[in-house]
């Protein structure tokens, strides 16, 4: 049975795709995606392609694609703002009854779109796509990703589903709730989890990247993990209270030991090495604690500026109604 909106039109599904220097893979991406959209004639589709300040021919190819297929719309950002901002820009522009974020590298298979929509039809507001086989990723990436999920979910009240990326379906109600979250430093996986709603999960095998190279270096992934932890947990701040308390207790115990030993055995010459080690150790703890404080203060500083998450230079294809 064909689902329709209150005005009698078929439901609209928005697919949001961030692009950054993906010129080599755009042809394969559109050749893979378009037949999948054509196979769902009972629905209307819009594909929102967000060019995140690409420096190759990505934008020109996307514009050519939007002229070829009216379902494709292009949002051109004024510079590279990062994937989270580009994803936010696409979600803000999406007008569909359901929204599906997906990467352009085809590691997350578009063939799963029909299954995501089927679960949405059953009444779920959020349909998660979970990677059950990540052998296409390097061993280091799989290991560090698993460690991040475990650490994050252990210290945060908001649990991020393990091995679930941005690829998912969200209903209009979930999207409207997501758009109410005002922070500029955005960790989308955490924000997706924070809004809640009734959800289910579909498992899939992740493919190797179709073209090009990943834009996330080890350093960027590390900073991304720090953003994820500091966005949804104050545990790193609290732990230094306990470390400081434990250090103070040990210092008092050691001071009492020194006093008693001096009273009983007399004064001896303390070792220089042990004094140096103690000073360096405590100094290092202080620097680490200041660094943790700095991470949170830095986030406060950036948020208080209230700068926009992204700036759109131009929108292409908005005149095409889905």
Per-residue pLDDT of 37-54, as tens digits, reads: 888 888 888 999 998 888
Judge if 212 and 251 occupy the same domain.
no
SS3 36: helix
Contacts of 309 (CB under 8 A, 6+ apart): 81, 85, 88, 89, 184, 186
Judge if 181 and 44 occupy the same domain.
yes
Judge if 33 and 181 occupy the same domain.
yes
Q: Are 74 and 62 in contact (CB under 8 A)?
A: yes
Q: Can you read off the two tokens belonging to residue 12? A: 């609209």
Judge if 28 and 133 occupy the same domain.
yes
Q: Is 227 part of any domain?
A: no
Q: Is 294 part of any domain?
A: yes
Judge if 141 and 256 occupy the same domain.
no
pLDDT at 299 over 50: yes
Judge if 108 and 213 occupy the same domain.
yes
Most confident of 7-16, 122-131, 154-163: 122-131
Q: Is 222 part of any domain?
A: no
Judge if 88 and 192 occupy the same domain.
yes
Judge if 121 and 267 occupy the same domain.
no
Name the residue range of residue 257's domain.
Answer: 235-305
Helices (H), the chain: 26-38, 58-68, 83-93, 113-121, 139-155, 172-178, 188-195, 218-232, 235-265, 272-305
- The 10s digit of each residue's pLDDT in 192-251 is 888 888 888 888 887 765 555 555 555 566 665 666 566 666 667 677 677 777 766 776
Judge if 82 and 209 occupy the same domain.
yes
Q: How far apart are CA 209 and CA 212, in angstroms?
A: 7
Q: Is 226 part of any domain?
A: no
Q: How far apart are CA 75 and CA 95, in angstroms?
A: 14
Judge if 205 and 279 occupy the same domain.
no
């Amino acid at each position: 049975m064909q689902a329709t909106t209150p005005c009698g039109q078929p439901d609209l599904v928005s697919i949001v795709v961030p692009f950054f220097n993906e010129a080599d893979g755009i042809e394969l991406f559109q050749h893979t995606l378009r037949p999948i959209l054509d196979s769902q004639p009972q629905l209307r589709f819009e594909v929102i392609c967000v060019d995140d300040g690409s420096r190759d021919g990505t934008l020109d190819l996307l514009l050519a694609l939007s002229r070829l297929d009216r379902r494709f719309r292009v949002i051109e950002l004024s510079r590279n703002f990062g994937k989270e901002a580009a994803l936010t820009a696409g979600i803000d522009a999406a007008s569909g009854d359901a929204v599906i974020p997906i990467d352009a590298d085809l590691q997350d298979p578009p063939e799963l779109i029909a299954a995501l929509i089927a679960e949405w039809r059953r009444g779920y507001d959020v349909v998660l796509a979970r990677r059950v086989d990540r052998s296409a990723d390097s061993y280091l990436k799989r290991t560090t990703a698993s460690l991040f999920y475990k650490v994050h979910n252990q210290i945060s009240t908001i649990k991020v589903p393990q091995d679930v990326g941005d690829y998912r379906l969200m209903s209009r109600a979930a999207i409207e709730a997501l758009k109410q979250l005002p922070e500029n430093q955005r960790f989308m996986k955490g924000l997706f989890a924070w809004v809640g709603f009734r959800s289910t999960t579909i498992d899939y095998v992740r493919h190797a990247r179709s073209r090009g190279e990943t834009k996330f270096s080890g350093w960027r992934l590390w900073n991304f993990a720090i953003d994820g932890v500091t966005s949804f947990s104050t545990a790193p701040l609290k732990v230094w209270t306990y470390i400081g308390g434990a250090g103070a207790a040990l210092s008092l115990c050691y001071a009492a030991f020194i006093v008693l030993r001096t009273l009983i055995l007399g004064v001896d010459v303390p070792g220089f090495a042990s004094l140096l080690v103690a000073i360096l150790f405590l100094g290092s703890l202080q620097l680490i604690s200041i660094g943790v404080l700095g991470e949170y203060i830095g986030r406060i500083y950036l948020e208080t500026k209230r700068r926009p998450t992204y700036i759109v230079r131009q929108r292409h294809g908005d005149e095409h109604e889905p």
